[in-house]
């Protein structure tokens, strides 16, 4: 699920950058797919290296390789080196502007796991990292970012991450309180649904602005409406005190991303 949630903003951007009447660039979709697998994996490795002492104390994460003692910290460094080396090979297939832009995201990937120690808003930092592809996909096609399109799309993705990762964080809130880890789930608590509704509205406004600035058509806005309906259903039926329901709602966000991508393709055609 995490790989999909990292990959889908890339597909939106690549799709919006396609010429009118054309399908998205399949080569770029494939390249970014490989990059999403590698960078999602690298992010998980970095996260597990930072959090191995915390993970031991949380039932859901105690079986992770580092926390369980199945591998050493040195072995995880070697593995991370392999992941980042392969990801660099993918990045070097892009234009110079995109190489610099892509490399700039690494600081967010490295620092995100630390945020839960110092702020109740680590999900915001995750959103900034996870939606970098909304900038990178466009620049990979066009050679640079068209900020009137890319910035609203990026901010919409950040709002989306705040929705799904707050839902995700509610799974661990009892353990998080015990070990002193912060999250938006703890910050919002019983007001979670109101906050998620606000983030969803902001996401939809960002998507509409991005669409207007690149002359999108009716199918695109139909997809945005479908995304809004899906998010509304998620939030309305969410039970923040049932981890299994939180997981179900979290994973359903892949459908949100796919709906928008299909709308972008049909709108372009």
| Cα distance between residue 88 and residue 262, in whole Å | 29
**Predicted local distance difference test score (pLDDT) of residue 110:** 87
Question: What CATH number should be reported for the domain holding residue 93?
Answer: 1.10.357.140
| Cα distance between residue 180 and residue 187, in whole Å | 13
Q: Say how many domains are in the chain.
A: 1
Print the domain residue range for 199. 1-268
**Predicted local distance difference test score (pLDDT) of residue 101:** 96
**Predicted local distance difference test score (pLDDT) of residue 175:** 83
- Collect the ranges in the chain with pLDDT lower than 50: none
């Amino acid at each position: 699920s995490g790989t999909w949630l990292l990959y889908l903003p890339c597909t939106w951007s690549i799709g919006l950058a396609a010429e009118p009447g054309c399908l998205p660039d399949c080569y770029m979709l494939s390249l970014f797919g490989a990059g999403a697998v590698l960078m999602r994996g690298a992010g998980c490795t970095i996260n597990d290296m930072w959090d191995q002492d915390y993970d031991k104390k949380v039932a859901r994460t105690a079986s992770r390789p580092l926390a369980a003692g199945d591998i050493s910290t040195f072995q995880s460094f070697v593995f991370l080196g392999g992941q980042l080396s392969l990801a660099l090979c993918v990045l070097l297939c892009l234009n110079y502007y995109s190489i610099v832009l892509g490399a700039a995201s690494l600081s967010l990937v490295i620092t995100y796991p630390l945020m839960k120690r110092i702020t109740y808003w680590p999900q915001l930092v995750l959103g900034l990292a996870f939606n970098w592809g909304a900038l990178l996909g466009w620049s990979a096609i066009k050679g640079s970012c068209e900020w009137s399109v890319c910035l609203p799309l990026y901010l919409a993705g950040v709002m989306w991450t705040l929705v799904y990762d707050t839902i995700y964080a509610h799974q661990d809130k009892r353990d998080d309180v015990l070990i002193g880890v912060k999250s938006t789930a703890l910050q919002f608590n019983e007001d979670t649904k109101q906050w998620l509704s606000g983030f969803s509205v902001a996401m939809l406004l960002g998507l509409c602005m991005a669409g207007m600035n690149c002359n999108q058509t009716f199918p695109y806005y139909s997809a945005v409406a479908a995304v809004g309906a899906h998010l509304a259903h998620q939030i309305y039926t969410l039970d923040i005190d049932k981890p299994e329901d939180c997981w179900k709602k979290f994973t359903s966000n892949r459908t949100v991303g796919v709906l928008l991508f299909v709308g972008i393709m049909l709108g372009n055609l």
